[in-house]
Amino acid sequence: MEQESHVMKATELRLGLPGSDEPVKKSNNKRASSEMNNNLSNAEKEDHQESPVPPTKTQVVGWPPVRAYRKNVLRQKKTEADSSGMYVKVSMDGAPFLRKIDLKVYNNYTELLKAFENMFKCTIGVYCEKEGYNGSEDALTYEDKDGDWMLAGDVPWEMFIGSCRRMRIMKASEAKGLGCL
Amino acid sequence: MAYSFPEEVLEYVFSFINSDKDRNAVSLVCKSWYEIERWCRRRIFIGNCYAVTPGIMVRRFPEIRSVEIKGKPHFADFNLVPEGWGGYVYPWVVAMSRAYPWLEEIRLKRMVVSDECLELISKSFKNFKVLVMSSCEGFSTDGLASIVANCRNLKELDLRESEVEDLSGHWLSHFPDTCTSLVSLNIACLASEVSFSALERLVSRCPNLKSLQLNRAVPLEKLPNLLRGAPQLVELGTGAYSAELRPELLSNLFDAFTVCKELKGLSGFWDVVPAYLPAIYPVCNGLTSLNLSYATIQSPDISKLISQCQNLERLWVLDYIEDSGLDILATCCKNLEELRVFPSDPYGVEQNVALTEQGLVSVSEGCPKLQSVLYFCRRMSNAALVTIARNRPNLIRFRLCIIEARATDYLTLEPLDAGFGAIVENCRELRRLSLSGLLTDRVFEYIGKHAKKLEMLSIAFAGDGDLGLHHVLSGCESLRKLEIRDSPFGDKALLANAAKLETMRSLWMSSCSVSYGACKLLGQRLPRLNVEVIDERGTPESRPESCPIEKLYIYRTVAGPRFDTPGFIWTMDEEGNTPLGIA
């Protein structure tokens, strides 16, 4: 099943450089759109400076053609709805107590990992397709809305915080099982 | 014989002729008709503020009472037109303040309006009645204060989707207590709170108030009193439609709506709490227009509401309605003429709602009067488009936005040429079309061949090369506005169809393959066009002539090149010289 979805993904027609969709593989949140789209206007630059919501996809100026006041209304609604914070439990294998963190405080995976590394005094590795998990690093996993345990980092940040219910930092040896196709 | 009628008789006859087209035709019959007509024309529509100068307008038409002017190109709505492009209304207002002391109405779209401008309007025209500013910018609530304070006979103040610098809500309190003339007030785009007591008093003392669109800051609790003060309302835009659940508010609201027997249009609905929706049930049956495009309510709530609005002619809604809700729409609303479905999550990667091409197919089947469609979705098929085209040959406006650029037919993985081809072939009265999805030159062949009544065409990420553009320019006889972005159209098609451009209002091309050299040639060959090269990389003279420019805006004009262009716009010169523009 997973293999099929991989093949579908590889042949899927998309607007973007290969491998540019999910922005986090190794603490790398560089916006591919700055390479892709050499028509970034000043207006769009201003837009992004004012709005800290990270793009979930390589964004092209003015596409889809949604007017600014509509975008603002929806964005406002989203932030209002979530203004109470998004606290999830975090467990770390071997630690006696669980912790709670507010996912809304972070803007991307890098910041989240850093926070964990400080909180739990561990090093969290990011799964890399070629190398799998480095044996000495821990892995970050989360339980999603459907109750499945997922490896953190595959989906765009916004989607992740929307579906994450709780998190677990696993010892790398156990995490290897999750990462295999 | 024209000369045997006294002027007064002709003038009287002409007073029944109101459409611009007819008036223009009348003025071409002979010199004396031209003269008579120009003295009795009261309304003028200027589709492109740079196609003519204020001076030309006031010289030809000395007795205008109502002016409508449009500025920036449509793609400005999507941030494709850089800041500072132009569209300033000030020179128009200055000229009119001298020539038209009896001016009553100003309607503007996509123009830059300053507070000075608004103040000048408020002081220059003693009988000023109507100010409509649609998608305008550049002014603040101070400017609004001047208008409402000084225009004693103000009937309409409509700020439709304008970007206003909102300093405070205090401006509304500048309406004099003696003002009873208001017919329409639309402040939906403002953020600040206005004084509720001032608003209530204003509303209740204006017996002719037909249209009231509140802003989000007006809380739901205030709505019942406002409605009781204006039971004759025909259009209402609510403010925020949420409050803590209180039965007495719900019944108060319900009773207030019961009194509004004339209500035909509803909009607003920010922050909707579904529990308060039943309050509008008393008016549902009379509604012809419902705008739920800010309402983040789910399909079951939307469906419940729609099933009560059997007389609906126009629905604007978010894609939360889903296919299931559209099925209900198709079943219940047989008078539906216009449907707009907006995306709730346009930048999300995945489908967040169960809305597909099916919903549109259902509506096309169930609603025989459907003529205007704007639909955002994440997948489409040729088969669905063909079905829609066959179901609804009476379509006039069809704007489809498949969110992912260059998306294929999701069933066959082919381009969507055949689907859009079916649309233009079956819908003979089609006047406006927006394309999306993967499209080759083939679709433009179909469009050029069949879309003979098409007036406006929007193209994005489509086509293979010049041939596509050539089909459109050579085939679409009625084309007035063409806007293209990110498509591989270049010099050949433009130069081969240069003369066509003088029959159109305007052409916009951005991120295409038009070279600077071709632009210079066009500017030379067609002196009655302004060929504006927009390039934020600096003067095109610093790059080879074959280098493609960023953006191009071409429009016909009798005004010659404009002199208010910002530093990144160069107008191509008639003589083929170094272009006019600030270096």
Q: Can you tell me the mean pLDDT for A1-15?
A: 50
**Residue spans per domain, chain B:** 1-41
Tens of pLDDT, residues A159-176: 888 888 889 888 766 655
- Helix, strand, coil fractions of chain A, as percent rounded to 5: 35, 20, 45
Interface of chain A against chain B, CB under 8 Å? 13-15, 21, 39, 41-44, 47, 55-57, 59-71, 73-74, 77, 80, 156, 158-159
CB burial readout B134-165, b (16+ within 10 A) else e? bbbbbbbbbbbbbbbbbbeebbbbbbebbebe
Task: Test A66 with B78 for CB contact under 8 angstroms.
Answer: yes
The string of DSSP letters for B220-255 reads GGGHHHHHHH-TT-SEEE-SB------HHHHHHHHH
Q: B1-41 has which fold? A: Monooxygenase (1.20.1280)
Residues of chain A positioned with their CB less than 8 A from the CB of B294: 73
The answer to whether the CB of B117 falls within 8 A of the CB of B93 is yes
Residue of chain B with shortest Cα separation from A158 = B348
SS3 content of chain B, % helix, strand, coil (to 5): 35, 20, 45
Torsion of CA B417, B423, B429, B433, to 10 degrees: -60
Q: Please provide the DSSP assignment of B13-24 as one string.
A: HHTT---HHHHH
Lowest mean pLDDT of B18-27, B56-65, B335-344, name the range. Answer: B18-27
State the pLDDT confidence band at B84, using cuts at 50, 70 and 90. Answer: very high
* pLDDT range class, residue A23, cuts 50, 70, 90: very low
Q: Which helix (H) or strand (E) holds B374?
A: strand B372-377
**Residue B278: strand, helix, or coil:** helix
Alpha-carbon span A85 to A174, nearest angstrom: 31
Better-predicted residue by pLDDT, A159 or B490: B490
Bridge partners (DSSP) listed for residue B132: B107, B158
Name the pairing type of β-strands B432-434 and B66-70.
unpaired
CA-nearest of A28, A8, A3 to A157 is A28
Expressed in angstroms, the distance from the first to the final Cα of chain A is 10
| Cβ pair A39:B461 closer than 8 A | no
Record: contact B78-A67, CB cut-off 8 A:
yes
Instruction: Map tokens 């100003």 to a residue.
Output: B106
Backbone angles phi, psi at B40, to 5 degrees: -110, 10
Mean pLDDT of chain A: 65
pTM attached to this predicted model: 0.79
Give the span between the Cα atoms of B370 and B368, in whole angstroms: 6
Residues of chain B with C-beta less than 8 angstroms from the C-beta of A56: 347-349
**In this predicted structure, which of A82-96, B22-36, B194-208 has the lowest mean pLDDT?**
A82-96
The continuous run of DSSP H or E covering B350 comes out as: none
Q: In this structure, what is the dihedral angle of CA atoms B309, B310, B312, B317, given to the nearest 10 degrees?
A: 50
At A32 the pLDDT is 35
Q: What pLDDT sits at residue A175? A: 59
- CA B361-B365-B366 angle, 5° bins: 120
Average pLDDT over residues B386-396: 98
User: In the prediction, which pLDDT does A41 show?
Assistant: 40
Annotate A141-167 with b (16+ C-beta within 10 A) or e (fewer): bbbbeeeeebbbbebbbbbbbbebeeb
B533, containing H or E segment: strand B529-534
**Residues B284-303: tens digit of each pLDDT:** 999 999 999 999 999 999 99
Predicted pLDDT at A21: 45
Number of residues that this document lists for chain A? 181
Between CA B407 and CA B378 the distance in angstroms is 9
A chain contacts of residue B237, beta-carbon cutoff 8 Å: none
| Inter-residue contact B149 to B173 (CB < 8 Å) | no
B296 and A77 within 8 Å at the Cβ level: the answer is yes
Using CB atoms, which residue from A56, A61, A67 is nearest to B347? Answer: A56
Q: Is the Cβ pair B407, A13 closer than 8 Å?
A: yes
> Alpha-carbon distance B383 to B371, whole Å?
20
Mean pLDDT is lowest, of A29-38, A109-118, A138-147, B68-77, for: A29-38
Token pair listed for B550: 């960023």
- Could you list the beta-strand ranges (E) of B1-121: 43-46, 66-70, 105-109
Residue recorded with tokens 């019961």: B258
Q: How far is CA B105 from CA A28, A170, B74, B243, B389, in A?
A: 56, 70, 23, 38, 40
Chain B interface disruption, residue of A74, A75, A76, A145, most B CBs within 10 A: A74
Determine the distance in angstroms separating the CA of A151 from the nearest CA of chain B, rounded to an integer.
19
- Asked, as a colleague might, if the bond just before A64 is cis with ω within 30 of 0, I would say yes
Asked if B271's CB is within 8 angstroms of A47's CB, the reply is no
Contacts of B78 in chain A (CB under 8 A): 61-63, 65-67
Q: Which has the closest alpha carbon to B501: B517, B485, B520, B525?
A: B525
Cα-flanking dihedrals φ and ψ of residue B376, to 5°? -100, 130
Chain B positions touching chain A (beta carbons under 8 Å):
75, 77-80, 82-83, 161, 163, 189, 270-271, 293-294, 296, 342-350, 376, 401, 403-408, 413, 438, 460-461, 485-486, 510-511, 536, 550
What number is the ipTM of this complex?
0.89
User: A49 pLDDT exceeds 80?
Assistant: no
Tens-place pLDDT, residues B242-267: 998 899 999 999 999 999 999 999 99
| The pLDDT of residue A111 | 81
What six digits make up the tokens of A161? 């915080």
CB spacing of B346 vs A64 below 8 angstroms: yes
| pLDDT above 50 (res A52) | no
